[in-house]
Amino acid sequence: MARLGRTPWDLGPELKLFDPVAAGAYTRYMHKPGADRIHPDIPPSQPPGQDTPGWAYGAFVLNRFTTWDEPSRQLGIHYLMSTSSPYQVHLMHTRLTVS
C-alpha cells in the first residue's frame, strides 16, 4: 500500500501498489504451498516443517526513476520489493492513476 499527500503528515487514501494474485506472482516468483516447487528448490529454503506462502514487504521507492505524466495523471513508480518465500528482492514498476 502507498499513500499520497502534499506533506509527509497528510495521510491520503491508501493505494494498492502490488497485488500478488492480480500480478500472477504465485507459482511464478512467489511460493504458493502445494502449487509449485519454489520451496524447497530455490534457496534459501524455509526452516524444516514450514511451508508458508510468500508475501510482499519492504517496498523501497527508487525516486530517480519515478515519473509523472500530467495529461493522464499517471504516476510511474519503480521500487524494490522483497518476497518472503523465496527470500528474494525484485525490481518492480507500478503505474497509478491519481484522481
Report yes or no: 77 and 87 within 8 Å, Cβ to Cβ.
Answer: no
Residue 34 included in any domain? yes
**CB-count burial class (<10 Å; 0-12, 13-18, 19+) for 38:** buried
Tens digit of each residue's pLDDT (9 = 90 or more) over 55-64: 999 889 999 9
Residue 37 included in any domain? yes
Residue 10 included in any domain? no
Residue 8 included in any domain? no
Residue 52 included in any domain? yes
CA 89 to chain centre: 10
| Rounded-to-integer distance, Cα 15 and Cα 81, Å | 16
Number of domains in the chain: 1
Residue 4 included in any domain? no
What letter does residue 78 receive in the DSSP assignment? E
Residue 32 included in any domain? yes
Residue ranges in the chain whose pLDDT is less than 70: none
Is 0.85 surpassed by the pTM of this model? no
Residue 55 included in any domain? yes
Q: Which domain holds residue 27?
A: 15-97
**CB-count burial class (<10 Å; 0-12, 13-18, 19+) for 12:** exposed
